[in-house]
Amino acid sequence: MERVVIAREGCKGCELCIAACPRTVLVMSDDFNRSGYHYSIFKNKEDCNSCTFCGIICPDVCIEVYK
């Protein structure tokens, strides 16, 4: 099971989760969702410690964090 699940179709590309991540495991994708926004993705899933900062800061509630 993944530690963090990002609902890419709900993401509006604000990049707040990227700025909030202390381990810099999130980046913007090169692809677009159906609404035309770039969305957040992991670059190093194994470095995530499930701190929940990304989920807390997301204004569109697109990120679920599991511990």
**pTM of the complete model:** 0.89
Rounded Cα distance between 16 and 53, Å, is 10
Q: What pLDDT is attached to residue 67?
A: 79
- Domains of the chain, earliest start first: 4-65 (3.30.70.20)
Match 């499930």 to its residue by tokens. Answer: 50
Q: Could you read off the pLDDT of 16-37 as tens digits, one per residue?
A: 999 999 999 999 999 999 999 9
Q: What is the pLDDT of residues 37-67, one digit of tens each?
A: 999 999 988 899 999 999 999 999 999 998 7
Position 1 pLDDT exceeds 60? no
Contact 3, 48 (CB under 8 A): yes
Burial degree of 43 (CB within 10 A; 0-12, 13-18, 19+) = exposed
Using the predicted structure, report yes or no on whether residue 6 has a pLDDT greater than 90.
yes
